[in-house]
Structure 1
Amino acid sequence: MLSLEQSRFWLDKLHSDGLQPGIQELMYYRTKLPAFAKHRRHLPAVSQSGPLLSKTRGRGMEFDEVRHYQAGDDIRSIDWRVTARTGKPHTKLYREEKERPVFLVADLALTQLFGSQLLFKSVQSCHLLAALAWQAQQRGDRVGGIISNGWMHREHKPAARQAGVLHFLHSAVDIHKDSYHRWQQQQRPHDAPLADSLRRLQQLVKPGSLINIISDFRYIDEELLELLARLNRRNSVRCFCLYDPMECELPAGYSSQPLAVFDGLQQAQINLADSRQRQRYHDSAKQRQQHQQQQFEQYGLALTYVSSAEALEQQWQSLR
């Protein structure tokens, strides 16, 4: 657990209040790219041919044209349909994609507006969104994606320029402001905003793209997992799950009065001085996380956990 001094240090360094992100703190990650570049890049499953195998870091090969077969051409590239139709051997030519589409999908649902130590999960989601966007932009990849909280929804087509990333991050700040306002009004979380974003993403994404999903995955069902698995068949999908330590384990306390907790739907009384209650809470949270991991593994999906209680650069080495 961070001390008060440590929390102040990181909040000052990140130019953040921990509650609402601003464009200045999202620009902070642009200066951290050299450190991020030392990190091992995520590779797709072996069955996914093409992406991330070339020296140009993930650009695939896209069909260009068919021409007459020439001596020295790879026989594996022969177009047998054209050859059979014309009676003369033809070969397929491919051109290397210079810019790879990178899609970032951020779920800023109201369930993410929670934090017990450093940042709200939703703020850390925006930080991760910014770090991944700046990293892709520096590589020369085109960056786009979808940001939604269930009420507001912004789509951005992949763009290679810095201005495109800034426009994308401004959308994240705007949607977070809307979420924060609704959270202050104690509105109920919108049902399944991530599933709606993924259904729309299927219409936007091109095969061979890199897709990063950022959410707390509080609402997981078979439909959501199937949507992710479908996208993962022709792309490289990575899921980042935001969590707060208090969702995993209750802090020890010595108050004789129980603590009233309200999640927007239900209210419960928690006695922090009751060690048995804390243990039951911990066991239940651990069981829920293990079940979640099994679900993602069953569908062949990569799941990485990101804490809202530590600065992103402190845990970047574990974001593999």
Structure 2
Amino acid sequence: MLRTEVEQWLKQLHCDGVSPGIQELLYYRSKINAFARHHKSLPRSSQTGPLLSKSRGRGMEFDEVRHYQPGDDIRSIDWRVTARTGKAHTKLYREEKERPVFIWVDLSLTQLFGSQFVFKSVQACHLAAALAWQAQHKGDRIGGLIGNGWQHQELKPIARQKGVLRLCHALLEVHNDSLTRWQNKQKQQQNTLDDNLKRIRQLVKPGSSIHVISDFYNASERFMDGLRVLSQHNSVRCFGLYDPMEHELPQGYSSHPLAITDGQQQVSINLADQQQRKTYQNAAELRWSNIQQEFRKRKLALTPISSALPLEQQWAEVK
């Protein structure tokens, strides 16, 4: 994107590209109809899925206990209440109309990087807000997990706009914590994704929809296997945040070496040195190829999302 285009988009989003604010997350509420029109323009899929039914999620949810009546299913008898009262009681269930949607956002320090438009972490917050507004528009309940290794917010699903606003405020709080630690040059804690995976398992119920937003820099084998287990009873979709500079160094000449760090080690690269450029690109391609392979091996959906383009220009990837 040209510099003038970047400035225009940032102004439209009320965004500085580094520290997200509530106004830019509320912006996506106004884009629900545009998102819906994009969906209608897409070719119909032949695949069927759980959302074709009016009753979403697990299907039935516990409602209350009442006295047993002739004709009631004996499998629904509440034996604890029956034993306590001395009279047979049966459990009643109701259809679960609202599907729980969990938005899990990784705001580790590796996400605080951006070379062209916004930080990956800011784009992660935008994506989480957009997905939340879409889910709320469908009548789903919004919950989630926002974490960075030091701080985390666990959000149980609640319906309507309240669920989205609660998620947005949690995003801003955790992102602000990450930004402060990044500015203080604090080193990232290890096993962030593994720890948050344990928490999301405790939050979700079978039949939920889970969106995972991360750059997956610190994704271990154990984490990937855990995602696979989670997907066996839930709909899991992963979004991989990336910046173009993580794949290829920018073109151009600089009289000063470019400092590159992974948070642990730092090296200097001469942009005019073609061999160094090629070595960097090969390493970057290998890393991304390995991530994609790990997802394919476990039959998990991974959608790349660039931090260098406005989210609205990537609706096709978010669909």
Fold shared, TM-score > 0.5 on shorter chain: yes
Please give the secondary structure, in 1, of the residue aligned with 2:278.
Answer: helix
Shift of residue 68, structure 1, vs aligned partner: 8.5
Which structure 1 segments of 5+ residues have no match?
Answer: 70-78, 83-92
Gap change, CA 1:276 and 1:57, over 3 Å in 2: farther
Aligned to 2:314: 315
Aligned to 1:122: 121
Q: Which amino acid aligns with 1:314?
A: Q
Please give the secondary structure, in 1, of the residue aligned with 2:10.
Answer: helix
Please give the per-residue CA displacement for 1:252-286, whole angstroms capped at 9, x wherever unaligned: 22224322223431110101112222122222211
| Distance (Å, rounded) in 2 between the aligned partners of 1:311 and 1:68 | 61
Q: Which amino acid aligns with 1:207?
A: P
| Distance (Å, rounded) in 2 between the aligned partners of 1:110 and 1:307 | 17
Aligned to 1:10: 9
| Distance (Å, rounded) in 2 between the aligned partners of 1:192 and 1:106 | 15
Q: If the length of structure 2 is used for normalisation, what is the TM-score?
A: 0.85
Q: If the length of structure 1 is used for normalisation, what is the TM-score?
A: 0.85
Please give the secondary structure, in 2, of the residue aligned with 1:38.
Answer: helix
| Distance (Å, rounded) in 2 between the aligned partners of 1:166 and 1:150 | 23
Confirm or deny that 1:61 pairs with 2:52: no
Counting only pairs closer than 5 Å after superposition, residues 1-320 of structure 1 correspond to structure 2 as 2-40=1-39, 51-54=50-53, 56=54, 58-62=56-60, 96-320=95-319
Shift of residue 94, structure 1, vs aligned partner: 7.8
Q: Which amino acid aligns with 2:227?
A: L
| Distance (Å, rounded) in 2 between the aligned partners of 1:99 and 1:148 | 25
Aligned to 2:79: none
Shift of residue 59, structure 1, vs aligned partner: 4.7
Verify the 8 A CA contact 1:19 1:119 in the aligned structure 2.
yes
Q: CA RMSD in A?
A: 2.8
Q: Which amino acid aligns with 1:62?
A: M
Verify the 8 A CA contact 2:55 2:97 in the aligned structure 1.
no
Shift of residue 289, structure 1, vs aligned partner: 1.2
Please give the per-residue CA displacement for 1:28-86, whole angstroms capped at 9, x wherever unaligned: 00000111123449x9xx8xx972231x38455227799999xxxxxxxxx8989xxxx
Bigger shift: residues 276-285 or 211-220: 276-285
Verify the 8 A CA contact 1:62 1:95 in the aligned structure 2.
yes
Please give the secondary structure, in 2, of the residue aligned with 1:52.
Answer: helix
Gap change, CA 1:67 and 1:306, over 3 Å in 2: farther
| Distance (Å, rounded) in 2 between the aligned partners of 1:266 and 1:64 | 53
Which structure 2 segments of 5+ residues have no match?
Answer: 77-91
Shift of residue 318, structure 1, vs aligned partner: 2.3
Aligned to 2:84: none
| Distance (Å, rounded) in 2 between the aligned partners of 1:264 and 1:81 | 56
Please give the secondary structure, in 1, of the residue aligned with 2:186.
Answer: coil
Bigger shift: residues 126-135 or 187-196: 187-196
Please give the secondary structure, in 2, of the residue aligned with 1:234.
Answer: coil
Verify the 8 A CA contact 2:215 2:242 in the aligned structure 1.
yes
Shift of residue 250, structure 1, vs aligned partner: 0.3
| Distance (Å, rounded) in 2 between the aligned partners of 1:210 and 1:28 | 23
| Distance (Å, rounded) in 2 between the aligned partners of 1:97 and 1:121 | 35
Q: Which amino acid aligns with 1:61?
A: G
Aligned to 1:75: none
Verify the 8 A CA contact 2:56 2:97 in the aligned structure 1.
no
| Distance (Å, rounded) in 2 between the aligned partners of 1:67 and 1:290 | 61
Q: Which amino acid aligns with 1:300?
A: K
Aligned length: 297
Please give the secondary structure, in 1, of the residue aligned with 2:20.
Answer: coil
Gap change, CA 1:123 and 1:293, over 3 Å in 2: same
Q: Which amino acid aligns with 1:10?
A: W
| Distance (Å, rounded) in 1 between the aligned partners of 2:239 and 2:69 | 44
Please give the secondary structure, in 2, of the residue aligned with 1:115.
Answer: coil
| Distance (Å, rounded) in 1 between the aligned partners of 2:235 and 2:69 | 31
Identity of aligned residues (%): 55
| Distance (Å, rounded) in 2 between the aligned partners of 1:311 and 1:57 | 34
| Distance (Å, rounded) in 1 between the aligned partners of 2:158 and 2:61 | 22
Gap change, CA 1:283 and 1:205, over 3 Å in 2: same
Verify the 8 A CA contact 1:248 1:286 in the aligned structure 2.
yes
